Amino acid sequence: MELDQLKKIENYSFQNLNTSDAFLEMFIAIHTGMRFGEIAALRLNNVNFEQKMISIEKSMDMFHNEREPKTKSSIRTIRVDEKLLSVLKNLRLNQTELIIKSNNQLVGRYLRDTIKELNIKQVTFHALRHSHASYLISRGVAIQYVSERLGHADVSITQQVYSHLLNSLRVKEESKAISLLDDI
C-alpha cells in the first residue's frame, strides 16, 4: 500500500474510532504492525503508558480462543507513538478487558467499506501490517529492528518479504557510497 493510501486509512480510522472498535483495530495495526490476533488479545494492562510500550503476550484465534502467539519471537514488547498512546488512554475499559470486541469478519468488512469510500485499492487487513513495515524500512529503519518489531522468528523472513524495498534502498546506498568515494 502506498504511503498516501495508508495515511488516508489511518486518518479515517482515527476520525471514526467512536463508531466501532474495528476502526481501533485498523488504527493499532497501522501504528504497530501487530497481527490481527495479537491486537484482538490486547488488554490495557499490556500497555505501559509511562514507558510508551505495548507487551504482546497472547493472540486470539478466529474462534475467539486466546492462545500463545505465532512464534516465541512473537512474544515481544514494542515502543509506540504518542498518537496511539493518547487513543488508548481514552478507552473506558478496565485493565483486563479486551480492547477489541469485533471479530475478523467484521473488521474485514469495515476495512473493505473504508477502502471503497476512500477510493483506494482493495487490500486485506494483513496489508496494514505489511504497510507498517514497508514504511519503516523505506525510511531507513534497520531491518533487524523491523523484524523484531514484527515478531518474526528470523530476520531472513523479513528480508524475504521486503526484498523489493531492500533492493531499492541498496541502490540508494550504493549511489551514496559512490558519491562519498568520489569526494576522496
Q: What are 98's strand-pairing partners?
A: 43
So what's the pLDDT on residue 1? 84
pLDDT band at 166 (very low <50, low <70, confident <90, very high): low
Would the pLDDT of 162 be above 90? no
Instruction: Report the amino acid identity of residue 115.
Output: I
* pLDDT confidence band for 116 (50 / 70 / 90): very high
What are the strands, taking DSSP E only, across 75-167?
Answer: 76-79
- Per-residue pLDDT band at 95 (split at 50, 70, 90): confident
Q: Give the distance, in angstroms, between the CA of residue 139 and the centroid of all CA atoms in the same chain.
A: 15
How high is the pLDDT of residue 173? Answer: 74
Exposure b/e, 66-92, CB count within 10 A at least 16 = b: eeebeeeebbbebebeeebbebbeeee
Which has more confidence, 112 or 153? 112
> What φ, ψ does residue 66 adopt, rounded to 5°?
-75, 140
Average pLDDT over every residue of 155-177: 76
Q: How far apart are the first and last CA of the chain?
A: 40
Region of poorest pLDDT, from 26-35, 89-98, 141-150: 89-98
Q: Which three cell numbers stand for residue 124?
A: 486485506
Give the pLDDT score at 175: 82
Span 16-33, average pLDDT = 97
